[in-house]
Chain A
Amino acid sequence: EVQLVESGGGLVQPGRSLRLSCAASGFKFDDYAMHWVRQAPGKGLEWLSGISWNSYSLGYADSVKGRFTISRDNARKSLFLQMDNLRAEDTAFYYCAKDILRGFLGTIDMWGQGTMVSVSS
């Protein structure tokens, strides 16, 4: 079955860190760029970061640049998002997503079910 499964979400205090993981299965993971996209409850989609198939190209939204780090392990078919210095406004569902291209300026054709991150004291 083709799927993406996120993990690592939870409740965390402001200023702390969290690491999200995404396990891919059912497709050739190292042939595609990957993304993290979030959606606050009742709000729209916000692209956070993308990574090319070979990790050579990375991109970050201004809202998370310098605080979040995307990475991937093709051997383990996994995508990661290291989130540091978390803020209340980072509270959202975080989705792992697959691009149709090797570079990340393509189109998302597959989404995980999301993992919820809540930042609160």
Chain B
Amino acid sequence: FMLTQPHSVSESPGKTVTISCTGSGGDIDHNFIQWYQQRPGSVPTILIYEENQRFSGVPDRFSGSIDTSSNSAFLTISGLKTEDEADYYCQSYDNVDPVWVFGGGTKLTVL
């Protein structure tokens, strides 16, 4: 099972951006999807778990969803701020073996 993300996206402050995470080798909704943010020079932090649950302290500008027709998960960030510039990773689990799978990461530029 693999997760594929766009390498980079960019958007202006105040706008809304959506980052995709497409599954291959299995159904995207077979296991939960998580989203992590990694700002430059920092360790990752959890944003969304179990597809659409915001972790404690995460602003409601961040939301998660899935679309089974495209076998994809999405992270949507509204009201973009310059502090949202970071790498974003989706994560799930293999459908057969007990192993984690990370997407390749998407670099968000807010300019």
Contacts and interface: CB of A to CB of B under 8 A. Distances in A.
A113 B98 CA distance: 25
Contact of B100 (A44, A50, A95): A50
Nearest to A108: B46
Most buried by B among A35, A50, A105, A112: A105
Interface string B58-69: 000000000000
Interface in A45-84: 45-47, 50, 57, 59-62
Interface residues of A, number: 22
A107 B55 CA distance: 10
Contact of A44 (B32, B43, B50, B89): B89
Interface string B69-103: 00000000000000000010101010001111111
Given A108-B46, A111-B43, A59 B97 contact: yes
A1 interface: no
Contacts, number: 58
Question: How many interface residues does chain B have, given as a range?
Answer: 20 to 34
Nearest to B101: A47
Contacts of B99: 47, 50, 59-62
A112 B98 CA distance: 23
A100 interface: yes
A44 B98 contact: no
Contact of B105 (A35, A45, A62, A100): A45
Interface in A97-111: 100, 104-105, 107-109, 111
Nearest to A60: B99
B46 A109 contact: yes
A57 B99 CA distance: 11
A107 B49 contact: yes
The 8 closest A-B pairs by CB, nearest first: A47-B100, A111-B43, A44-B105, A107-B49, A59-B98, A45-B102, A59-B99, A44-B104
Given A105-B31, A107-B55, A108-B44, 18 more contacts: A35-B100, A44-B87, A44-B102, A44-B103, A44-B104, A44-B105, A45-B105, A47-B99, A50-B98, A50-B100, A61-B99, A61-B100, A62-B99, A107-B32, A109-B46, A111-B43, A111-B44, A112-B43
